[in-house]
Amino acid sequence: MKLLDKLAVLDRRIIYLCVGIAVIVPMLIPLNLPVDITRPVRNVYNKIESLPEGSVVLVSTDYDPGSEAELYPATEAVIEHCFRRNLKIYMMGLWPAGSALGEHALDTIAHVHSKHYGTDFVNAGYRPGGAVMLLSLGRNFNDVIRVDYAGRPIDSLELGRRVKSAKDIALVMTLSAGDPGVIHWVQYFHARFGTPICAATTAIMAPREYPYMNSGQLVGLLGGLKGAAEYETLVHRKGRGLTGMDSQSIVHVLLVLFIILGNVILVYERRKKSAGRAG
Amino acid sequence: MLVTTIGIWIGALLTLAIYSFLYRDNPVYKVAENIFVGVSAGYWAVVLWFDFAWPNLFAPLVQGRIYYLIPILIGIMMFAPLFPKISWLVRIPLTFTMGVAMAVAITQYIQGDIIPQLQGTFLPLRGVTFFTAFSNLLIILGVIFTLIYFYFSKEHKGALGAGAKIGIWFMMVSFGASFGYTIMARVSLLIGRVYYLLHDWLRVVR
């Protein structure tokens, strides 16, 4: 029991060190643990697969660098899938810094698939205004979006001229880290205009979004890095999601062990105290 | 290329500076923290001007749309409490903002949340597979018992008390799921930073 006494006063920095090692080692020596595909992720994949070629997918980058680790892998995987299916991407964002991240993802993937700016994809950039803006956007895109991310008139771009209202959008894919985000797309854009919505959210947000899937307001959901890794598996693209999943799995096992150990120590200390009082 | 390399080095060193807090509080951490606060404040000032104020207010005004003076005037009224004699003027922009927000939010909340979520609980228990029926039953019971817990007009005794206790169990499961997802999210953020250090900075991970 001396071991339990020592563990009870263990320096928390040793736990940090263990977690750090559990993250770093699987990245250096990949284990390639299997990634199961869950129904919400498959729903997103199936929805994009079902769209006719040339359909417009509105990709909304509603996050910032604070959530990049979880949502950027999903951004790349979804863009990759859309381009492979010859879908058009109309990108915008409800968060200021999200547009730059979206632009980076588009730049990275578009040239691989020989896609051209203006005809195959556009980036309208950050659009402030949250809920009120989304209601105006669905009625008439030109009321809200007059120039693109780089300041070019949106009407000078073929795809910009084509998208006039929510009717021209086959699917909204929101990559959401909070407010404004997926809730606004569901409650305002989907409820008013009926456009199908898919979402990739941070893991913290995911449990809150499941009721929207249950009610049919959300078609599918990628929850956190795990959701991104599942999507990368579906589109056969090893990105940051799959690279991080070994570390994620190992750390989860480690944390479960820590929780069990913490509870064992708690019970042991309580018994020791009660035995001390009885003695 | 050189600019990118410098950027990666700055990002890596600041990441290490922030993580140095895990060992103990130190001046390097403080410097990184203050840089973050300063950069964030500057960034938001630029965003507020170039994405909000200029395109939506001042640009149309400069183009000759004089009626844009009305929102400017209403906005200036927000500062009225600084002058006690005219402090009552703040009620005008506040009531305007509240009126618009309520009009937009209430209608859409009913249409986009309450009604679809109610419909989402009308689930079939017959004519579906056993597991679907079981899952649907759990959702229906979860909604009913959780609502019972939040019914405070009668003391939670007898059948109402038992229902409320079951409601607590449903909520506990929900909190557990949220906690699990929260751990996953925090670990993901750490993975993201470590990936940046090993892939972008040290280039030891492909």
**Is the CB of B195 less than 8 angstroms away from the CB of A211?**
no
pLDDT, tens digit, 9 for 90 and up, residues B132-191: 999 999 999 999 999 999 999 999 999 999 999 999 999 999 999 999 999 999 999 999
Nearest-CB residue to A191 (from B111, B120, B185): B111
Q: Shortest CA distance to A82 belongs to which of A118, A111, A45? A: A45
Residue in B closest to A214 by C-alpha: B120
**Is the CB of B183 less than 8 angstroms away from the CB of A206?**
no
pLDDT, tens digit, 9 for 90 and up, residues A130-141: 999 999 999 999
Residue in A closest to B200 by C-alpha: A240
Three-class secondary structure assignment of chain B: CHHHHHHHHHHHHHHHHHHHHHCCCCHHHHHHHHHHHHHHHHHHHHHHHHHHHHHHHHHHHHCCCHHHHHHHHHHHHHHHHHCHHHHHHHHHHHHHHHHHHHHHHHHHHHHHHHHHHHHCCCCCCCCCCHHHHHHHHHHHHHHHHHHHHCCCCCCCCHHHHHHHHHHHHHHHHHHHHHHHHHHHHHHHHHHHHHHHHHHHHCCCCC
pLDDT, tens digit, 9 for 90 and up, residues A101-158: 999 999 999 999 999 999 999 999 999 999 999 999 999 999 999 999 999 999 999 9
- Residue A279 confidence (pLDDT): 67
**Is the CB of A203 less than 8 angstroms away from the CB of B188?**
yes
Residues A203 and B182 sit within 8 Å (Cβ to Cβ): yes
Query: What is the amino acid identity at position A91?
Result: M
d(CA A70, CA A224): 5
**Is the CB of A216 less than 8 angstroms away from the CB of B184?**
no
**Is the CB of A217 less than 8 angstroms away from the CB of B104?**
no
Minimum distance, in Å, between the CA of residue B161 and any CA atom of chain A: 26
d(CA A137, CA A169): 11
Query: What mean pLDDT value characterizes chain A?
Result: 95
Q: How confident is the model at residue A260 (pLDDT cuts 50, 70, 90)?
A: very high
Average pLDDT over residues A237-253: 95
pLDDT surpasses 90 at B51:
no
Residues A208 and A231 sit within 8 Å (Cβ to Cβ): no
Minimum distance, in Å, between the CA of residue A50 and any CA atom of chain B: 24
DSSP code at position A179 = S
Query: What is the amino acid identity at position B126?
Result: R
Ramachandran region of residue B57, left (φ > 0), alpha (ψ -120 to 50) or beta?
alpha
Q: Is B177 on the interface with A (CB under 8 A)?
A: yes
Q: Is B47 on the interface with A (CB under 8 A)?
A: yes
Q: In chain B, what residues touch A208 (CB-CB under 8 Å)?
A: 178
Tokens for A71? 């949502």
d(CA B194, CA B204): 11
Dihedral of the CA atoms B20, B26, B31, B37 (nearest 10)?
80
pLDDT, tens digit, 9 for 90 and up, residues A27-53: 999 999 999 999 999 999 999 999 999
Average pLDDT over residues A209-214: 94
Q: In chain B, what residues touch A215 (CB-CB under 8 Å)?
A: 116-117, 119-120
pLDDT, tens digit, 9 for 90 and up, residues B58-86: 999 999 999 999 999 999 999 999 999 99
Tokens for B184? 């996953």
| Contacts for B100-107: CB closer than 8 Å, 24+ residues apart | B100/A132, B104/A131, B104/A132, B104/A135, B105/A131
Label the pairing between strands A121-126 and A56-62.
unpaired
Tokens for B135? 């899952």
DSSP code at position A189 = I
**All structural domains of chain B with their residue ranges:** 1-64, 69-119, 124-206
**Is the CB of B108 less than 8 angstroms away from the CB of A131?**
yes
How far is the CA of A276 from the CAs of A6, A262, B189, in angstroms?
A: 18, 21, 44
**Is the CB of A207 less than 8 angstroms away from the CB of B174?**
yes
**Is the CB of B193 less than 8 angstroms away from the CB of A69?**
yes
Tally of CB atoms within 10 A around A28? 9
Residue in B closest to A94 by C-alpha: B51
pLDDT surpasses 80 at B107:
yes
Minimum distance, in Å, between the CA of residue B22 and any CA atom of chain A: 7
Beta strands in chain A (DSSP E): 56-62, 88-93, 121-126, 171-176, 197-201, 220-223
Nearest-CB residue to B185 (from A191, A204, A255): A204
Q: Shortest CA distance to A164 belongs to which of A56, A34, A28? A: A56
**Is the CB of B192 less than 8 angstroms away from the CB of A68?**
yes
What's the residue count for chain B?
206
Q: In chain B, what residues touch A191 (CB-CB under 8 Å)?
A: 108, 111-113, 116
**Is the CB of A203 less than 8 angstroms away from the CB of B205?**
no
Q: In chain A, what residues touch B185 (CB-CB under 8 Å)?
A: 70, 202-204, 224
Query: What is the amino acid identity at position B68?
Result: Y
**Is the CB of B184 less than 8 angstroms away from the CB of A203?**
yes
